């Protein structure tokens, strides 16, 4: 026998079905009809679990087939590597600028951003291929990271509040957001 576990599980399932069927009152009083509604109600939790497992297996099987025939497999690890590399390149761009790029407009297509994207592709070709990253998509990631760094370096808006104290003096508080 190749799979004794399956044989034992099948036999156990048949015993459970027989006991459930007999205990559910599925037989009519005159034994001429069999009512299956009580049996289905009794088995519904088990049917639900089996259906959910079958759907999960089908999804995994389908994903495997798609990868096998198309070669497409998005790896979260590869995506994380590219995001980290984009953040690093953005940090290099900001640190290398005189004004931390706080007053400079950086957009997709900027020569320094294009150079940084090409460097990422040169350093991480497998990760870029795994997620289908193009130089333009990497430039978009880099520009987004530069924007985050610019927001941090400018400090955002400044708010000032003044309050009067009971002794007649005033207190001024300035906060940067």
Average pLDDT score over residue span 77-82: 85
Per-residue pLDDT reduced to its tens digit, 29-65: 556 666 777 777 888 888 777 878 878 777 777 777 7
Q: Give tens-digit pLDDT for 145-165.
A: 888 887 776 555 544 445 555
What is the mean predicted confidence (pLDDT) over 117-136? 89
Residues 1-19 have a mean pLDDT of: 72
Give Cβ neighbours of residue 128 (< 8 Å, ≥ 6 apart): 78, 82, 120, 121, 138
Is 82's pLDDT higher than 70?
A: yes
For residues 101 and 150, the answer to whether their CB atoms sit within 8 Å is yes
- pLDDT at position 133 over 90: no
93 touches 113 (CB < 8 A): yes
Distance CA 81, CA 60 (A): 25
Q: Which residue has the higher pLDDT, 85 or 96?
A: 85
Nearest in space to 94 (alpha carbons), one of 166, 25, 35, 147: 147
Q: What is the pLDDT of residue 44?
A: 82
Number of continuous H segments (helices) and E segments (strands) in the chain: 6, 2
Q: What is the pLDDT of residue 119?
A: 93
């Amino acid at each position: 026998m190749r799979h004794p576990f399956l044989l034992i599980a099948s036999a156990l399932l048949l015993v459970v079905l027989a006991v459930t069927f007999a205990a559910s009152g599925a037989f009519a009083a005159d034994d001429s009809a069999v009512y299956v509604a009580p049996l289905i109600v009794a088995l519904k939790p088990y049917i639900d679990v089996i259906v959910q497992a079958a759907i999960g297996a089908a999804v995994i099987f389908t994903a495997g087939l798609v990868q096998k025939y198309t070669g497409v497999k998005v790896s979260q690890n590869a995506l994380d590597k590219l995001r980290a590399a984009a953040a690093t390149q953005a940090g290099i761009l900001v640190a290398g600028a005189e004004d931390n790029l706080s007053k400079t407009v950086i957009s997709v297509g900027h020569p320094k951003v294009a150079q940084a994207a090409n460097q990422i592709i040169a350093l991480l070709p497998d990760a870029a291929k795994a997620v289908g990253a193009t130089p333009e998509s990497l430039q978009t990631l880099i520009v987004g990271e530069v924007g985050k760094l610019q927001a941090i370096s400018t400090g955002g808006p400044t708010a000032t509040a003044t309050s009067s104290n009971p002794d007649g003096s005033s207190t001024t508080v300035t906060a940067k957001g």
